[in-house]
Amino acid sequence: MRILISNDDGIEAPGIALAAEAAAKLSDDVWVVAPDAKRTAAGPSLTIARPLTMRRLGERRFSCSGTPGDCVVTSMAWLFRDGKKPDLVVAGINDGRNVGEDLAYSGTLGIAREATFWGIPAIGFSRVKKANVRSGDAEWLSRFIGRLWQTRNDWALEGHWLSVNLPSDLPAPIAQPKIGRDKIARKADVVKEEGDVIELVVPRGREHATTTGDENSLIDEGFVTMNRLNWFGETPLGGGFMEGLRAAAK
């Protein structure tokens, strides 16, 4: 099994090292392609028609000057262009939970989403900050990924991927949460103002709002939370609405 690992925290982040260690217990064909620096909240963005720099750091290990999504694209379009594509993409482990609107903003989940465009099963892993990382975590994570791989026909439908949040301590029970509402970017700080030019900074952090059964509440209770996400799935607009719209367009 060929596994591709990437993240949005950068090639040297501890989380991606843990993910690679876990993957190496499942396969001897593990590749790591990650941004050369932190690319938090890059979402699914790509670099098009501008140069990207790939740097070989070791056997099957590369850094990329672009976004997390670029790491997947360059892997598929260049690194594996003449060979076997990955069987599984693992994103993360992100330094911090990905909940609520992070499902759209997260570079970690942007990696998983991009992988589904190439028809590859993908899992995005995130973990609470300042987690209690212990020596057995890689072994537990390896078994967990292995189980997800074995059951991929149950979740890896076209255009779908998994978002997994890990609590501070592993092993842990697993739950499927409601997607909560935990707003980030609630304010903008004025750094400098000169006439009509205003320089702003949107600070890091979120409110950590929670309701019973959402991601934050279950993660804080010590659960591994898991949701299956997808990038498509149109919703019918309804016959009456469409009839009225068609009539108005005549």
Segment 47-58 shows an average pLDDT of 95
Residue 178 has pLDDT above 80, yes or no: yes
Q: What pLDDT digit, counting tens, does each position of 217-226 carry?
A: 999 999 999 9
pLDDT of residue 239 exceeding 80, the answer is no
Q: Is the pLDDT of residue 118 over 90?
A: yes
AA identity, residue 199: E
Average pLDDT over residues 27-48: 93
pLDDT of 234 reads 64
Q: Domain coordinates of the chain in residue numbers?
A: 2-182+210-249
Report whether pLDDT(12) > 90: yes
Does the 2-182+210-249 domain belong in CATH 3.10.180.10? no
Whether residue 126 contacts residue 108, with contact meaning beta carbons closer than 8 Å, is answered with yes
Q: What is the pLDDT of residue 233?
A: 64
Residues in the chain: 250
Predicted pLDDT of residue 250: 75
| Stretch among 42-46, 56-60, 183-187, 200-204 having the lowest mean pLDDT | 183-187
Average pLDDT, the chain: 93
What angle, rounded to 10 degrees, do the helices at 14-24 and 137-150 form? 60
pLDDT at 238 > cutoff 80: no
pLDDT of 243 reads 84
Confidence class of residue 29 from pLDDT cuts 50, 70 and 90?
very high
Which alpha helices (DSSP H) does 75-209 contain, by range?
Answer: 102-105, 107-117, 137-150
Distance of CA 29 to the CA centre of its chain: 21
User: Phi-psi category of 182—alpha, beta or left, where left has phi over 0 and alpha has psi -120 to 50?
Assistant: beta
Whether 173 has a pLDDT exceeding 80, the answer reads yes
